[in-house]
Amino acid sequence: MLSVSLHSERRKHQRFRLKDLAIAVPNKPTSQVGRIVNISKGGLAVRYVDRDDWAGEADSIDILINSGLFLTNIPIHNVNDFEVENQVSFSIMTERQCCLQFGPLSSEQESRLDEFIRHHGVGNS
């Protein structure tokens, strides 16, 4: 009898790690920055210090790189949010990762996202 996995790969786009520090900020009244771990044409993963629900009810984010605004009002859907092992073994802070899927992008946003991945992405994630 063949066994069927209940979990299947849902990613449609190649993910890239970033060679530069890039952060995302959810567009909501109170928000904190999160470090972008990887990005693709379909979404991104963000790590943040566990304080509150990072994305919350936000329906868009802004992306900053090298201290400058790069992409604004990117529509998002929160896919997953989970605790990750802290890379600093003596740290008392809890770190979480939020996985976001992009909503419909304008042609300008798609172009800017392509540029972002081309200039700041490196390797597979």
User: Is the CATH number 2.40.10.220 carried by domain 16-122?
Assistant: yes
- Which ranges of the chain would DSSP assign to H, the alpha helix? 107-120
Residue 42 confidence (pLDDT) above 60: yes
Predicted confidence (pLDDT) per residue in 75-107, tens digit: 999 999 999 987 666 667 888 999 999 999 999
Q: Which of 73, 45, 77, 48 has the alpha carbon at shortest distance from 61?
A: 73
Q: What is the DSSP letter of 107?
A: H
pTM of the model: 0.82
